[in-house]
C-alpha cells in the first residue's frame, strides 16, 4: 500500500507556511547527476528504499549537464511529484534548481551536498567532503612520516562536488607534501589514465596521487604501471572494485562513503521531513578510511539488485 501524508509543505523553506492538503499518494522525483557506478548505486538505493516504503519514484538522469538537470526538474514538476530528490551535477546549478522548485512550491531535498543557506530546501543528506579529503590527506601524511614528498591530483568534473573534495584534501595536506600537478579526469577512467600518464611524464619522481573516485584511480594505476613508476594512490568511494584494487595492491587507500546509505537516508529523511517529524534537516553519511588493514570491515557500497 502506498504511503500517504495528511499535510504537505506548500513551499520549501523553513519560513514557508504549512497548508492543509488532501491525503494523497506520495510520488518522489529523483534527479540523478550521471552514469558512474556511484550514480547507478545511488539510484538503485533510492528506488529500493522507496519501494520498501510503498512510495513511487520517477527518476531522470542529467548526464553531467546542468541544463539537462534543470529540464529534468521542470519535467518532474510538470508530472506532479510530491517532492524532489536531487543529486546535482554542479554545485553552481543548485541555485537555479532550488529557485525552480520553490517557484512551483515543490519541496526539494539534496544528496551529497548542501548549500550554505538551507532555508529554501526541505533538507539534505550530505557527504562531508572536507572530512573525506582530510582522511586521505591524513593517510598520505602518516605514510610519508614527515619526509619530503609530492602528489598529483586527478579531480572529477569542475564545478561539481569534486571541487569541495579536492579542497578538503589540499587544505589538510602537511607542509612536507607538495602538490605538483592537478587536472580533471571527468569521472572517466580513460581520461584519468591519460591525465596520469601526462603527470608522471612531467613529474617522474612523483610520490603520490589523490584521485576523486576509484574508477579513475584504476586508470591512473594503469598509467603509472605502464610508466614503471611506483606511485601510491589515495581515492574515494569504497566500491567492490576499489576494495579489490586495494587487496591487489593497485590502490593504497580509499574513503568509504557508501552510495547505498546515501540513497536510503535520502528517502527516509525526505519522508520524515514531509511528515514534519523532528529530525535533523542536514544529515551526513558515515565515512571511514579503508586500507588493506580495514578491508574486512568496509561497508557495503551498492545494494544487490
Helix extents (H) in 85-178 = 94-103, 129-144, 161-171
List the end-to-end C-alpha distance of the chain, in Å, as a whole number: 22
157: pLDDT strictly greater than 90: no
Cell of 144: 610519508
Cell of 134: 582530510
Identify whether residues 248 and 266 lie together within a single domain: no
Q: Give me the CATH number covering residue 153.
A: 3.40.50.2300
Query: Which DSSP category does 175 fall into?
Result: T
Contact 14, 119 (CB under 8 A): yes
Confidence category of residue 44, pLDDT binned at 50, 70, 90: very high
Identify whether residues 183 and 276 lie together within a single domain: no
10 occurs within a structural domain? yes
Cell of 41: 548505486
Q: Rounded mean pLDDT of 194-221?
A: 97
Identify whether residues 96 and 134 lie together within a single domain: no
Closest CA to 263 of 52, 115, 96, 69: 52
Identify whether residues 122 and 133 lie together within a single domain: no
Domain total of the chain: 2
Identify whether residues 55 and 88 lie together within a single domain: yes
Stretch among 21-25, 65-69, 245-249 having the lowest mean pLDDT:
21-25
SS3 content of the chain, % helix, strand, coil (to 5): 40, 25, 35
Identify whether residues 151 and 244 lie together within a single domain: yes
133: pLDDT strictly greater than 80: yes
271 occurs within a structural domain? yes
Range of the domain at 109: 4-127+259-285
Confidence category of residue 91, pLDDT binned at 50, 70, 90: confident
Identify whether residues 77 and 158 lie together within a single domain: no
Q: Rounded mean pLDDT of 32-61?
A: 95
Confidence category of residue 24, pLDDT binned at 50, 70, 90: low
234 occurs within a structural domain? yes
Global pTM value:
0.78
Contact 31, 76 (CB under 8 A): yes
How many other CB atoms are there within 10 angstroms of residue 19's CB atom? Answer: 11
249 occurs within a structural domain? yes
What is the percent of the chain with per-residue pLDDT over 90, rounded to a whole number?
82
256: pLDDT strictly greater than 90: yes
305 occurs within a structural domain? no
301 occurs within a structural domain? no
Identify whether residues 264 and 120 lie together within a single domain: yes
How far apart are alpha carbons 29 and 80 in whole angstroms?
A: 9
pLDDT of residue 5: 33
How far apart are alpha carbons 19 and 34 in whole angstroms?
A: 35
Identify whether residues 99 and 29 lie together within a single domain: yes
Contact 219, 241 (CB under 8 A): no
Q: Rounded mean pLDDT of 222-236?
A: 98
6: pLDDT strictly greater than 60: no
116: pLDDT strictly greater than 90: no
How many other CB atoms are there within 10 angstroms of residue 228's CB atom? Answer: 8
pLDDT of residue 1: 34
pLDDT of residue 160: 65
pLDDT of residue 205: 97
How many other CB atoms are there within 10 angstroms of residue 240's CB atom? Answer: 14
Identify whether residues 49 and 190 lie together within a single domain: no
Residue in the block written with cell 593517510? 139
304 occurs within a structural domain? no
Identify whether residues 11 and 39 lie together within a single domain: yes
Three-state secondary structure call for residue 235: strand
Identify whether residues 109 and 208 lie together within a single domain: no
Amino acid at each position: 500500500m502506498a504511503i500517504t501524508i495528511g499535510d504537505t509543505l506548500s513551499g520549501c523553506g523553513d519560513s514557508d507556511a504549512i497548508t492543509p492538503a488532501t491525503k494523497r499518494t506520495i510520488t518522489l522525483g529523483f534527479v540523478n547527476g550521471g552514469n558512474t557506478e556511484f550514480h547507478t548505486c545511488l539510484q538503485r538505493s533510492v528506488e529500493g528504499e522507496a519501494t520498501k516504503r510503498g512510495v513511487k519514484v520517477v527518476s531522470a538522469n542529467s548526464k553531467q549537464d546542468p541544463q539537462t538537470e534543470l529540464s529534468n526538474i521542470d519535467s518532474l514538476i510538470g508530472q506532479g511529484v510530491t517532492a524532489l530528490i536531487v543529486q546535482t551535477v554542479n554545485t553552481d546549478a543548485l541555485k537555479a534548481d532550488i529557485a525552480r522548485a520553490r517557484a512551483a512550491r515543490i519541496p526539494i531535498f539534496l544528496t551529497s551536498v548542501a548549500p550554505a543557506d538551507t532555508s529554501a530546501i526541505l533538507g539534505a543528506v550530505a557527504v562531508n567532503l572536507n572530512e573525506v579529503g582530510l582522511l586521505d590527506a591524513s593517510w598520505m601524511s602518516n605514510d610519508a612520516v614527515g619526509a619530503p614528498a609530492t602528489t598529483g591530483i586527478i579531480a572529477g568534473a569542475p564545478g561539481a562536488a569534486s571541487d569541495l573534495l579536492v579542497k578538503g584534501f589540499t587544505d589538510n595536506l602537511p607542509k612536507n607534501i607538495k602538490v605538483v600537478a592537478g587536472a580533471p579526469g571527468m569521472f572517466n577512467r580513460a581520461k584519468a589514465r591519460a591525465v596520469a600518464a601526462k603527470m608522471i611524464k612531467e613529474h617522474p619522481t612523483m610520490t603520490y596521487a589523490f584521485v576523486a573516485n576509484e574508477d579513475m584511480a584504476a586508470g591512473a594505476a594503469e598509467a603509472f604501471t605502464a610508466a614503471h613508476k611506483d606511485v601510491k594512490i589515495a581515492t574515494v568511494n569504497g566500491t567492490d572494485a576499489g576494495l579489490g584494487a586495494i587487496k591487489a595492491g593497485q590502490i593504497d587507500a580509499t574513503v568509504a562513503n557508501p552510495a547505498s546509505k546515501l540513497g536510503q537516508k535520502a528517502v527516509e529523511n525526505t519522508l520524515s521531513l514531509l511528515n514534519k517529524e523532528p529530525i535533523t534537516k542536514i544529515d551526513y553519511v558515515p565515512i571511514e578510511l579503508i586500507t588493506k588493514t580495514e578491508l574486512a570491515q568496509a561497508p557495503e557500497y551498492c545494494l544487490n539488485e
